[in-house]
Structure 1
Amino acid sequence: MEKLINEFSIGLFFWQFVLFIALVLLLRKFAWKPILDAVEKRESGIEDALKSAKNAKLEMENLQADNQKLLQEARAEREGMLKEARDMKNNMIESAKSEAQTQANKMIVQAQAAIESEKKAALAELKSQVAGISLEIAEKVMRTELSNNDKQLQLVETMLAEKSLN
């Protein structure tokens, strides 16, 4: 350091100072200005990006709120549809039950009517068979009773006597 102080020259210092100023001016014009412009552009780009991010975040929050609202509406609509489906199911079940009960009652009435008609037919058949059997029995009894003439005359007189009394 002492050597620099001892060999100090004002002319050399002046030219170095002039070159330094020229270098600073050249750097300012060709290097710093574009660098500062690039930094400013970068800074404004970052600010724009931050604003865009903030706007995107606000928009995202709005979308989430809208999504929540839509989701709640969808849930409410789903619940309404499920309730309607349950009501329809219950109505269909009740309708089917009442229709089945009506059909069962009709079938019971028809069965009772069929049973009654079968019963009447069976009774009529039974009466006709009893009447047929009674006639056969009466015929056989009459043949044995009316095989001789005395019994025939006595029967005719008894019948005539009964007829005259009536």
Structure 2
Amino acid sequence: MSFHWESTVIAIIAFVLLYWLLNKYAFGPLFGVMEKRRQLVNEEIEAAESSRREAEQQLAEQKRALEEARKEAQEIIESARRTSQKQADEIIQAAREEANRLKNEAIREIQNEKNNAIAALRRQVSGLSVQIASKILEKQVDEKAHEQLVDQYLREVGKTS
């Protein structure tokens, strides 16, 4: 095996020429396509990351909105509870006031009826006393007859009332 330097030079020239042609027509466009692909992948990764951040932000906003809605609903429920309790207390108070008013009115009516009954009884007693006195003066009876007369008038008063 002998070494031929002409073959080696031709092989080196062929290799350099092939490298230059590949670099100009194959590697350049291939590296360009690969670079575009790398940029596209990086852009998609950035877009995905951006979308993920945006989704997390929207999720956080939705959680805040849901929490606010829950708080608002709780406040509405509590407000309704307070309002209903207040209305119930007002109704109970109004009922108590009405009951007291009716009770006081009934007491006044009973007192008026009692006073009227007492006045009527006094009129009857005074009328009977006058009648008894006039009968006594007419008869001039003894004490036993007087008692009988008073008892008779009292029985008559008991029958008429």
Asked if Structure 1 and Structure 2 have the same fold, meaning a TM-score greater than 0.5 normalized by the shorter chain, the answer is: yes
**What is aligned with 2:56?**
69
**What is aligned with 1:124?**
111
5+ residue gaps in structure 1? 1-35, 159-166
**What is aligned with 1:59?**
46
Name the Cα RMSD after superposition: 3.5
Q: Which has the larger radius of gyration?
A: 1
SS of structure 1 residue aligned to 2:40: helix
Q: Which residue among 82, 88, 92 is the counterpart of 1:95?
A: 82
5+ residue gaps in structure 2? 1-23, 147-161
Give me the TM-score of the superposition, normalised by structure 2.
0.57
- After TM superposition, give the deviation of residue 151 of structure 1 in Å: 5.5
- Does 1:133 find its partner at 2:120? yes
1:60-91 Cα deviation digits (max 9, x unpaired):
10111012211221221122112111211221
Residues 125 and 77 of structure 1: CA distance in aligned 2, closer, same or farther (over 3 Å): same
Deviates more, 1:133-142 or 1:90-99: 133-142
Give me the TM-score of the superposition, normalised by structure 1.
0.55
Residues 117 and 81 of structure 1: CA distance in aligned 2, closer, same or farther (over 3 Å): same
Amino-acid identity (%): 5
Structure 1 distance, partners of 2:111, 2:53, is 85
Q: Which residue among 68, 88, 94 is the counterpart of 1:81?
A: 68
Q: How does 1:1-166 map to 2 (within 5 A)?
A: 49-148=36-135, 150=137
1:8-64 Cα deviation digits (max 9, x unpaired):
xxxxxxxxxxxxxxxxxxxxxxxxxxxx79xx6x87876664444333212210111
Which consecutive aligned stretches of 4+ in structure 1 deviate over 6 angstroms post-superposition? 42-45
Structure 1 counterpart of 2:42, which letter? N
